[in-house]
């Protein structure tokens, strides 16, 4: 991953084919000591694992997809839960047959590239909501 542009609290990040995501994003955040922000991105991912939150079961149901998929939309935020850095990101993926699906992105390898615009913000914090089982922004 490299930073191609930086101005004040804005970054343009370019991830290279084969890199692990979001672990490379987490390395960037820790290196820059960034604890909150918002981001969006486009590109391609290989073998992505995405999940869906089942509100009744209060847990994520995950599925790994095999192959390379277009990232039609990637949006997310970064906040802290206690001392832990939490990335909450949603993704819409497209396959070679023009089918579209999405959910919470768990992890993947970069397909061709992933271009992410990151905006650092003031401190965002999450707290456990016991009614839903989710860690929500406060």
The answer to whether 111 and 46 have CB atoms below 8 angstroms apart is yes
Which pLDDT value is given to residue 24? 97
Phi, psi of 26 (to 5 degrees): -65, -40
Which pLDDT value is given to residue 98? 97
Which pLDDT value is given to residue 105? 98
> What domains lie within the chain, and their CATH numbers?
2-137 (3.30.1330.80)
Which pLDDT value is given to residue 138? 78
Terminal C-alpha separation, the chain:
31
Query: pTM of the predicted model, to two decimals?
Result: 0.90
Question: What single DSSP character describes residue 67?
Answer: S
Neighbours of 77 (CB within 10 A): 18
Query: Which DSSP helix (H) or strand (E) runs through 24?
Result: helix 23-31
Ranges of the chain with pLDDT below 50: none
Which pLDDT value is given to residue 21? 97
């Amino acid at each position: 991953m490299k930073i191609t542009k930086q101005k004040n609290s804005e970054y343009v990040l370019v991830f290279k084919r084969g890199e692990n995501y979001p672990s490379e994003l987490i390395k960037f955040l820790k290196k820059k000591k960034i604890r909150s922000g918002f981001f969006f991105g486009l590109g391609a991912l290989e073998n992505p694992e995405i999940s869906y939150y089942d509100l009744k079961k209060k847990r994520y149901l995950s599925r790994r997809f095999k192959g390379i998929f277009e990232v039609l939309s990637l949006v997310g935020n970064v906040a802290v839960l206690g001392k832990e850095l939490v990335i909450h990101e949603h993704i819409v993926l497209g396959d070679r047959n023009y089918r579209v699906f999405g959910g919470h992105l768990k992890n993947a390898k970069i397909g061709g590239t992933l271009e992410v615009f990151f905006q650092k913000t003031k401190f965002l914090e999450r707290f456990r909501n016991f009614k839903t089982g989710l860690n929500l922004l406060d």
